[in-house]
Amino acid sequence: MAKITLSKLRHSYVPDPQPDDYALKEIDHVWDDGGAYALLGPSGCGKSTLLNIISGLLQPSEGRILFDETDVTDLPPAKRNIAQVFQFPVIYDTMSVYDNLAFPLRNRGRPEDVVKARVTAIAEMLEVTSMLKTRAAHLTPDNKQKISMGRGLVREDVNVVMFDEPLTVIDPHLKWKLRSKLKELHQRVRATMIYVTHDQTEALTFADQVVVMDLGVIVQIGTPVDLFERPAHTFVGHFIGSPGMNVLPAELRDGGAFFVGRPVPLEGRIVKTGTLAQIGVRPEYVSLADQGLEAVVTKVADLGRHILVETRAGDTKVAAIIQGDAPAKGETVHLDFRRDQTRLYLDGWLATEAETRE
């Protein structure tokens, strides 16, 4: 396993690029040995470009990549000692499950007793022991992808295991099982793993640290709780969560923030300056109250465990997630924002500092 250092990486797919031509803008981060990281973002955000640079399929326009203290920037994929699991299963249909799992070890000349021990251990983790003698061609798509994952995990000497949208072909009702299994596998083998996805549920389930990307930039790296509770940028707040964070136009005056002419208490003091002011508060922290911000209900959706109420305050949509009785469409209600979860953003970036509590 390896620590991964990304040093001043930039990449453009066009020659003589201008600043806006870079698909991957400057990235300067260190990822810990044994960590589970998810690259998350919309299509075109740069996550696949970054994955290909780390794996060696793409040479960066600028910057260096280190595995531990070894510079691998100019090494081809075969010499980076990585394992990769793709969107579609990469297995040999004519081989048995056992031989598929054993192949990466035998290819490295490992003794058969070592091969047997590792294959047995990985098969138990993946719950495919009963299939070891089965020809791979006879497996269901989800079991084929399990074996493909096992091939990536069976070697203990790889620097990093990389997953590129590995659950794309899996039936939706089986995805949660494989997500949980992958998380369990990481906790047991403690390999450095990088998981690329546009699906926030997959990322938040799998990763210790989620790397949120947009427009070629890493916007925030944090735990799933960090990203939900304290997004560093309005993009993260809107992208993470269903529905995403309310991002409301704000006016700054008299040392505070105002929305539709009303003062809005914030989590703490404003510690940055900027031009575009916005208030961020998640629907989970907006409640209906006897007094507060006046709004008109535009939509009510019963989602089972809770009710989503969409309202309009002035010209702005404000969503609330509530329990209990729901208001009727067209009804005037009053909204209350939970203060410790209400933040100010300036030019998109978090600008308030949470108050410390004794």
Tell me: the pLDDT tens digits for 104-158? 999 999 999 999 999 999 999 888 999 999 999 999 988 998 899 999 989 988 8
**Per-domain residue ranges for the chain?**
4-229, 241-354
Give pLDDT, residue 357: 60
pLDDT digits (tens, 9 = 90+) for 30-52: 999 989 999 999 988 999 899 99
284: pLDDT confidence band, cut at 50, 70 and 90?
Answer: very high
Give pLDDT, residue 133: 96
Q: Report how far residue 250's alpha carbon sits from residue 270's, in angstroms, rounded to the nearest whole number.
A: 13
Q: Report how far residue 292's alpha carbon sits from residue 334's, in angstroms, rounded to the nearest whole number.
A: 5
Per DSSP, the residues of 9-50 read: EEEESSSS--GGGEEEEEEEEEE-TT-EEEEE--TTSSHHHH
What is the mean predicted confidence (pLDDT) over 280-288? Answer: 97
Q: Which fold has domain 4-229?
A: Rossmann fold (3.40.50)
**Has residue 358 got a pLDDT over 60?**
no
Q: Which fold has domain 241-354?
A: OB fold (Dihydrolipoamide Acetyltransferase, E2P) (2.40.50)
Q: What are 194's strand-pairing partners? A: 37, 162
> Taking CA 104 as the corner, what is the angle to CA 101 and CA 110, rounded to the nearest 5 degrees?
105
Q: Report how far residue 317's alpha carbon sits from residue 332's, in angstroms, rounded to the nearest whole number.
A: 14
The 10 Å Cβ neighbour count of residue 206 is: 25
pLDDT digits (tens, 9 = 90+) for 50-109: 999 999 999 999 999 999 999 999 999 989 999 988 888 889 999 999 999 999 999 999
What is the mean predicted confidence (pLDDT) over 156-184? Answer: 84
pLDDT digits (tens, 9 = 90+) for 312-353: 999 999 999 999 899 999 999 999 999 999 999 999 999 999
* CB-based burial label for 48 (10 Å; 0-12, 13-18, 19+): buried
Give pLDDT, residue 181: 81
